[in-house]
Amino acid sequence: MSLKKAILYLLLCSVSVLSSQNDIPKISITIDNQPLTEVFKTIESQTEYKLYYIDKWFNGNTISVNYTDIFVDQLLKKVLAQTDINFFIKDNTHIYLTKNNVVYNTLPEDFFSIYKKKDTLQSQTSNLQTEKTAPLFTKKIATNNGSKITTYRIGKENATNLRRTAVLSGKITNVSNGKPISDLSIVIQERQKGTSTGKDGSYKIELPIGTHILTVQGLGYETRNLRVIMYNDGALNLRMQDSAEALDEVVITGNRDRNVEEAITGIIKIEVEQIKTMPLVLGERDILKAALTLPGIANAGEGASGFNVRGGKTDQNLVLLDDGVIYNPTHFFGIFSALNPFSTGSATIYKGSIPAEFGGRLSSVFDLKTKTPNTSEFSGEAAIGPVTSTVVLETPIVKDKSGLLVGGRATYSEWILRSLDNDDLRNSQASFFDIIAKYSHSINENNDIKATGYYSRDAFSITSDSIFAYSNRMASLRWNHKFNEKNRGRLILTNSQYKFNIEFDGKTNTDFDLEYVNNESEFKAEFDYLHSKIHKFKYGLSAKLYEIDPGRVDPLGPDSETAKISIPRERALETALFISDNYKVSDKLRLEAGVRFSLFSALGEGIQRIYEDNGPRNASTFIETRAFDKNEIIKTYGGPEFRISGRYFLSSDLSIKASFNNTFQYVHTLNSNTTVSQTDTYKLSDLNIKPQKANLFSLGIFKNIEGNKYELSFEGYYKTQRNLLDFKVGAQLLLNEQVEAEVLQGDGKAYGVELLLRKNEGRLNGWLSYTYARSFIRLNSEFSEERVNNGDFFPTNYDKPHDFSLVTNYKFTRRFSASANFVYQTGRPATFPLGNFEFNDSDYVFFSDRNSFRIPDFYRLDLSFNVEGTHKIKKFAHSFWNISVYNVLGRNNPYSVFFVTEDGKVKALQSSVFAVPVPTITYNFKF
C-alpha cells in the first residue's frame, strides 16, 4: 500500500479514531503475501474478538501488511478497502464481516455523515451498487444484528388476480414505548421508490405484485430490512428499535424538506433535542427562550416575559399547550419558562401565515405539544440544577394502549435566599412550581383520547409586608376519531385560568387583598377531509367563553381602612367557523387557502359607559352608564379572516412562498410597560374598545443546500394593524373603573426582513439569524389629549431594528460537545424624563415624547460544555451534564432604565438581570 494512500486513509479514519479508541484494542501485525483471512486470524489471536465471515468471500485475495499498535478497526478498514466486504464491531467481542451490504447504499447522502458517527467504516465502502439480491448476511450475523431479514407475505394469493400492483399499508411504532414513529423512510431497494410514515406512524405504498426488499430507516432507529412478497393489498405493522445512540428526544430529519416544501410561510418548528445543548441560564432548558434566537421573534430584554413577533405586541400571541391557552407561560417574572422542558415535545410557531383553525390573536401561534406518554414501560427523566429541579415520569396504564405522564418542577430558591447574608434577601420570599399530567388512551385504531392538566404558580414577597402571587391553570381534553380513510376529526375541550393577587399586610391600617382572574373555556371541533392527492380540506368550528374579573380589592383585617373596590365581571363569547384547503395545483405549486369567520359578542351582565361621539373620551363627554342583563348582547364584532399562502418550487431545493393573512383579536392586555408585567390585566372588546386587526403580507425564498445540510431562508413582511391599544399620557390602568377613557386605539405598521441560515448536520451545527425589522404606531385624533407625538407614527416600545443571533454546537465526540450563543439587539425605545419644572408651587418631572430615546444596545455571549453519559442501551440511567456560563462577557445589559426621586433629586438608574457571568451546572438523567 502506497504511503499516499495510507495518509489518505489516516485522514479518512480520523473520525473513527476519535470515537473508537476508548474501547478498541490495538494490535501489531506483520503478514507477507498471505490470504486475507490470516489477518482475521491474527486479530482473533491477539484480542478477544471473534470474527464472523465466509472464507470463500476472500478466495485468492492475498495481502501484505506491517503495522505496530494499530487499532483493530483501522486495520480492518485498510485491509478490506479493496474488497466489497464491510465489517461491524459489536460489544468488543464480535466482528461481523458482511458482503454486498445493500443496507446503506441508497441512504440519503446526508445520512452518511450521521451514520459515520455510529460506525465510520461502513460509510467508506463505495463499491456497492444497487443489487437485486438481499444482503448476504450469514445466519450467525443475522441473529445478532438488528438487520435481520424476515419475509412477510402480504395479502391472499389469488390466481384470478389480474392486478399488477397492490397496496401495502401499516403503522410503525417504537418497540420500547409503543409510540408511533413519524417520518421514517420506507424504501424499496430495487425500484428507487419509497414513502415515509405520517404523524401517526402510518404509511402506505403501492408495490408491484412480487417480492421486494424494504428498508425502513430513520435517524435514531435501528434500520430494518425486510422481504415482502406482495400477493394482494395488505397491512404490515412494524415495531422499531431505538438505535444505540438514540436518546428520547431525537431530531427526526425525515421532514428534511420542510424548509422548502411547506406551503405556508413563517413557520418555525423547535424540537426539544435541538436546544438540549444550548447554553443554559441557571440550568433551565427552555424551549421558549430558544425561540427568541430565531428571526422575527424578540422580547423586550432579559427577564422580560412575552414575545414580540414581527413587530407585534406581547399580547398578540396565542400560546397553546395541548390545545389550551396559557396566559403567562413564565416563572419568576419571565426569567424561566413555566413549561416543563422534559414533558414538552415540540413547539410549532406560526409567525407568518396562521392556519385557519387558529384565531383570536394577531401576531402568532405558539403550538406546544406535550410528549405522548410511554405506553410500554415505565420511564423517567430528571434534572438537578442550581435553582430548580425537574422530573418527568411516564408509565403505561394499560400496556400499549394507555399511558400517563406526570411532570413537576419546583424551585429551592427559598432555601438559597434564606442562607444569604443580607437581611433583606433573607426575609424575602420567591417560590414557584409547575405541574403537568397527560393521559393518553388509544381505544382502538380509530379512536384515541388525550387529556392534559397543567398548573403553575409563583409567589413572591417583595417587601416584608406584601405577597404577590400569580398562577395559570389549564385543562384540555382531546378525542381523535378516524371516520374512514378519508375523514378524520377531533373534538377538543379546554379551560384556562390566569389569576394574580397581591396581599398587603403592613403596619398601617391600609392592608388589602387584591385579586384579578380571567377564565376561558373553549369547545372546538375540527375535521380533516383528505379528498384526494390534490385537495386536503380541514374544517371546523369553535366557541370560546371568556369570563374576566378585572379586579377586586378587599380590606384585609378588621382595622383596614382600605375601600372595597370591585370592577364588574366582563363576559364574551367568541365563535368561529373555518375551512381550509391544502391544494396541490401542480408538482411545483401548492396553495394553502383558508378562511375563518369569527364572531365576537360581548355579553351581559355588565355595565357600559356611554360617551359622546364627537369629543375625546373622558369625564366631560361621559353621558351615562348603561346596564345589560345576563347574556344580553352588548356589542358584536366579527368578519372573515383570510389565510392564504402558497409555495412554488423553482427547483427541487429552491422555493418561493408568499402569503396574505388577516387576523382579529378581541382580548387585549392593559399594560403600559414595555414588557409583560405580572399585573397586566386583560380587557375584552366592548362598546368602547374595538377589536384589533392586522393584515400581514409576506414573501420568502427558501433553499436547501447539500440535501438539507444547510437550510437558508430569507423572508420579508409588511404588516398593517388597526385599533392597537395604547394609552393616554398619565393613564392609570389597574383597578381603573373607567379604563376606556385612558385607552387610545391607533394604527400600527411593521415591516422587516429575516434571514436564517441553519446547518443541521455535521460536527458543527446550529443557526445564524438576523432580522431587520421596524414597528411603529400612530395615535392620532382631532383632540389633543388623544394625540401622542403630534399624531405621527413613532416607534413602538419593542421596535428593535437589528436583531442578530448565532447558536452553535460543536461535537468533539459522541459524548462531548460545546455550544455557544451570541445575541445582539438594538436597544429598545424608551420615554425618558428630560428635567424638572415648577408649576403651581410644586416641582414636576416632564417626559420626552413617547419613545424618542433608546436604551443601550443589548449583547450577550453564552458558552456551555456538555457531557453525555455512555450510550449503552441496557444501562439503567442515561445521564447528561451541562456546564454553562451565561453572559460570559459580563455585559451589563440594561433591562430597563427608570428614574427615582432621591433626596428631592431625580436619578436615572438602569436595572439589569444578569450583569455578571452566571455559571451553572446541571445534571440530567433518564431511565
Partner 1 sequence: MLIYYVLLLVIFNSCIETLDPEGLVDDFESVLVIEATITNELKQHEIRLTRSFKFEENITPLESNAEVKVLDDDGNVIRFLESEPGLYLSEEAFEAQPNKNYRLSITTSDGRNYASDAAQLTQITPINEVIAQRVINNGEDGMGFFVNTFDPTNSSKFYRYEFEETYKIIAPFWRPDDLITLTDDPIDCFVQEVFVGENNERVCYGTNISNTIILTNTSGLEQDNVSQFLVHFINKNNYILTHRYSILVRQFVQSPAAYNFFETLRNLSQSDNIFSQIQPGLLVGNVFSANNENEIVLGYFDVASVSEQRIFFNYTDFFSEEPLPPYVNPCEQFAPPVSLSGTCILANFVRSGTVEFVSENPAPNAEFPGPFLVVTDVCGDCTELGSNVVPPFWID
Least distance in Å: CB of 578 to partner 1?
A: 36
* Closer of 532 and 842 to partner 1 (Cβ): 842
Least distance in Å: CB of 468 to partner 1?
A: 7
Q: DSSP label at 407? A: E
Least distance in Å: CB of 429 to partner 1?
A: 10
**Cα gap 124→79, rounded to integer Å:** 13
465 within 8 A of 509, measured Cβ to Cβ: no
* Closer of 494 and 745 to partner 1 (Cβ): 745
166 within 8 A of 206, measured Cβ to Cβ: yes
Strand blocks (E) in 462-534? 466-482, 487-504, 512-529
Least distance in Å: CB of 328 to partner 1?
A: 14
* Closer of 237 and 732 to partner 1 (Cβ): 732
* Closer of 789 and 821 to partner 1 (Cβ): 789
Least distance in Å: CB of 564 to partner 1?
A: 15
Least distance in Å: CB of 371 to partner 1?
A: 32
* Closer of 512 and 578 to partner 1 (Cβ): 512
> Which residues, listed in sequence order, are joined to residue 514 by a DSSP beta bridge?
502, 553
The burial class, CB within 10 Å (0-12 / 13-18 / 19+), for 729 is middle
Least distance in Å: CB of 262 to partner 1?
A: 39
**Cα gap 850→856, rounded to integer Å:** 17
**Cα gap 452→326, rounded to integer Å:** 13
551 within 8 A of 681, measured Cβ to Cβ: yes
* Closer of 697 and 727 to partner 1 (Cβ): 727
* Closer of 333 and 798 to partner 1 (Cβ): 333
**Cα gap 251→269, rounded to integer Å:** 11
Least distance in Å: CB of 727 to partner 1?
A: 4
Through-space distance between the first and last CA atoms of the chain, rounded to whole angstroms:
48
* Closer of 466 and 720 to partner 1 (Cβ): 466
Q: Is 72 helix (H, G, I), strand (E, B) or coil?
A: helix
Pairing mode, strands 50-52 and 94-99: parallel
Q: Which residue has the cell 389469488?
A: 158
Contacts of 422-429 with CB under 8 Å at 24 or more apart are: 427/461, 427/464, 428/460, 428/461, 428/462, 428/464, 429/459, 429/460, 429/461, 429/467
**Cα gap 351→337, rounded to integer Å:** 20
Q: Is 310 helix (H, G, I), strand (E, B) or coil?
A: coil
Close Cβ partners of 360 (under 8 Å, ≥ 6 residues apart): 318, 544, 574, 598, 664, 665, 666, 667
Least distance in Å: CB of 311 to partner 1?
A: 20
Pairing mode, strands 853-854 and 842-847: unpaired
**Cα gap 605→619, rounded to integer Å:** 23
Q: Which of 65, 63, 75, 80 is nearest to 24 (CA)?
A: 75
* Closer of 639 and 890 to partner 1 (Cβ): 890
> Angle at CA 880, nearest 5°, toward 879 and 883?
145
Least distance in Å: CB of 633 to partner 1?
A: 24
* Closer of 180 and 833 to partner 1 (Cβ): 833
* Closer of 284 and 592 to partner 1 (Cβ): 284
Grid coordinates belonging to 574: 367568541
Least distance in Å: CB of 10 to partner 1?
A: 52
Least distance in Å: CB of 895 to partner 1?
A: 7
* Closer of 598 and 671 to partner 1 (Cβ): 671
Cα torsion angle, 625, 630, 631, 632, sign: negative
Least distance in Å: CB of 415 to partner 1?
A: 14
Least distance in Å: CB of 626 to partner 1?
A: 12
Look up residue 266 and give its amino acid: G
241 within 8 A of 221, measured Cβ to Cβ: yes
Least distance in Å: CB of 838 to partner 1?
A: 4
Q: DSSP label at 132? A: S
Q: Is 471 helix (H, G, I), strand (E, B) or coil?
A: strand
Q: What are phi and psi of 913, to 5 degrees?
A: -85, -55
Q: What are phi and psi of 190, to 5 degrees?
A: -80, -10
**Cα gap 804→755, rounded to integer Å:** 10
Least distance in Å: CB of 622 to partner 1?
A: 5
Pairing mode, strands 150-154 and 224-230: parallel
Least distance in Å: CB of 610 to partner 1?
A: 10
**Cα gap 571→686, rounded to integer Å:** 10
* Closer of 21 and 466 to partner 1 (Cβ): 466
* Closer of 210 and 835 to partner 1 (Cβ): 835
Q: DSSP label at 125? A: -
Least distance in Å: CB of 857 to partner 1?
A: 12
Q: Which of 440, 445, 443 is nearest to 485 (CA)?
A: 445
349 within 8 A of 295, measured Cβ to Cβ: no
**Cα gap 854→766, rounded to integer Å:** 31
Q: Which residue has the cell 388589602?
A: 512
* Closer of 211 and 836 to partner 1 (Cβ): 836
* Closer of 359 and 894 to partner 1 (Cβ): 894
926 within 8 A of 877, measured Cβ to Cβ: yes
* Closer of 503 and 711 to partner 1 (Cβ): 503
Exposure string for 503-537, b = 16+ CB within 10 A, e = fewer: bbeeeeeebbbbbbbbbbbbebebbbbeeeeeebb
